[in-house]
């Protein structure tokens, strides 16, 4: 159809439709001095405009306070929910983790990260007292502050607890200009729990006579494990999304068939191609292994039949199939071994925006935090 017809179908002025074409919102193919728009392009834009008026799914689910600040169990459950929502950035998880540690253990909690140059840098500090938090952040961020304890725990991969921190040694390691801040944020006991190999959660006591107990240490370690899992998710999701972009570009110009993976490198990415009914057209050996099936036998088989909850899959991919969005990630259990996998889905479209097929990049999901 031409641009005028498309504008009528969309219920907007011709100039509005033209602006959408110019901005890329409405996919059009230039023919001579005018534009031709496909039925799929019009329906896709309709779906995208309709979804902008709906309330976000998460907003509909929230009915009250996330947790009771007087109970440490609920904040950990909230932290688990945050970890399971991580895709490309785990910053918020680290910040929440430090705040939970500061709130329930006292008194100061720091999140340190290792830079590519092997420098340990403070990225977040938390304290129950906002004024003391400023002092703690100043102490932790000063480049002259020693981070030997943090370095040792990251290098060894083990939690290190110092029940009594010698104050004379502490002051020796701090620049004299910083000593005044110890009046607000001291360090009489310390626990450093590694966050994978990229950083650590450091928790310190402001006052003497309250060394950390075994239960405290276990709590700190459980928080650090959750942040580590969030980092693992970032690595997995970043790699999967980069592969998904590459596969969309590849299959936008190549043929979907059984040999479409033959020229891929030896790393054997975990990728599959589906038709618009979500049946397998082709898949890599790595994908077949992940879902516990034989690659040759998957051709023509619906992806719904290899996951435990086909309805959840349909619900997650409905916005992709309807044209509201072109990308979606969903976590589901596969039937073969009940392993949890992430499926990163992308719609591949022709130049006129009509759907051509579906690309799926998959990987296993890091185990639940727990503990």
Which domains are delineated in the chain? 3-51 (no CATH), 70-231 (3.30.450.40), 254-364 (3.30.450.20)
* 371 residues of the chain, pLDDT tens digit each: 888 898 888 888 888 888 888 888 899 888 888 889 898 888 888 888 877 655 555 544 454 444 444 455 588 889 999 999 999 999 999 999 999 999 888 788 999 998 888 888 999 999 888 888 888 788 777 766 767 888 899 999 999 988 766 556 655 666 665 655 565 566 678 889 999 998 999 998 877 778 888 999 999 999 999 999 999 999 999 999 999 998 888 887 776 665 666 655 555 689 999 999 999 988 888 899 998 888 888 889 999 999 999 999 999 999 999 888 999 999 999 888 778 899 999 999 988 888 989 999 999 987 764 44
C-alpha to C-alpha distance for 66 and 212, rounded to whole angstroms:
28
Each residue's pLDDT tens digit, 315-355: 999 999 988 899 999 999 988 877 889 999 999 998 888 89
Each residue's pLDDT tens digit, 119-173: 889 999 998 888 888 887 887 777 667 678 888 999 999 999 887 665 566 556 6
Task: Give which of 23, 22, 25 is closest to 10, Cα–Cα.
Answer: 25
C-alpha to C-alpha distance for 95 and 326, rounded to whole angstroms:
31
Question: Quick one: tokens of 331?
Answer: 């976590």
């Amino acid at each position: 159809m031409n641009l005028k017809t498309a504008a009528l179908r969309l219920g907007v002025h011709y100039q509005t439709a033209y602006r959408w074409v110019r901005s890329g919102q409405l996919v059009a193919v230039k023919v001579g001095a005018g534009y031709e728009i496909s039925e799929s392009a019009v329906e896709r834009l309709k779906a995208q405009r309709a979804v902008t008026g709906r309330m976000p799914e998460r907003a509909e689910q929230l009915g009250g306070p996330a947790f009771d600040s007087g109970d440490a169990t609920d904040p950990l459950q909230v932290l688990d929910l945050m970890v399971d929502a991580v895709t490309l950035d785990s910053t918020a998880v680290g910040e929440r983790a430090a705040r939970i540690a500061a709130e329930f253990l006292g008194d100061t909690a720091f999140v340190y990260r290792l830079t590519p140059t092997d420098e340990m840098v403070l990225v977040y500090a938390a304290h129950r007292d906002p004024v003391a938090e400023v002092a703690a952040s100043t102490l932790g961020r000063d480049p002259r502050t020693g981070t030997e304890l943090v370095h040792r725990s990251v290098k060894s991969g083990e939690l290190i607890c110092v029940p009594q921190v010698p104050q004379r040694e502490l002051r020796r390691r701090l620049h004299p200009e910083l000593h005044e801040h110890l009046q607000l944020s001291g360090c009489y006991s310390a626990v450093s729990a590694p966050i994978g190999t990229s950083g650590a959660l450091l928790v310190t006591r402001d006052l003497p006579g309250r060394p950390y107990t075994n239960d405290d240490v276990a709590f700190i370690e459980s928080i650090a494990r959750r942040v580590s899992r969030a980092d693992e998710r970032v690595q997995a999701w970043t790699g999967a999304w980069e592969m998904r972009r590459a596969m969309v570009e590849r299959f936008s110009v190549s043929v979907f068939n059984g040999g479409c993976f033959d020229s891929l490198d030896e790393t054997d990415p975990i990728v599959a191609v589906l038709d618009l009914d979500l049946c397998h057209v082709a898949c890599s050996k790595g994908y077949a292994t992940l879902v516990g099936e034989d690659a040759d036998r998957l051709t023509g088989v619906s992806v719904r039949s290899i996951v435990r909850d086909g309805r959840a899959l349909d619900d997650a991919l409905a916005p992709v199939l309807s044209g509201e969005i072109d990308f979606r990630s969903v976590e589901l259990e596969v039937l073969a071994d009940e392993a949890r996998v992430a499926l990163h889905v992308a719609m591949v479209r022709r130049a006129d925006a009509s759907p051509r097929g579906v690309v799926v990049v998959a990987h296993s999901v890091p185990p639940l935090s727990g503990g």
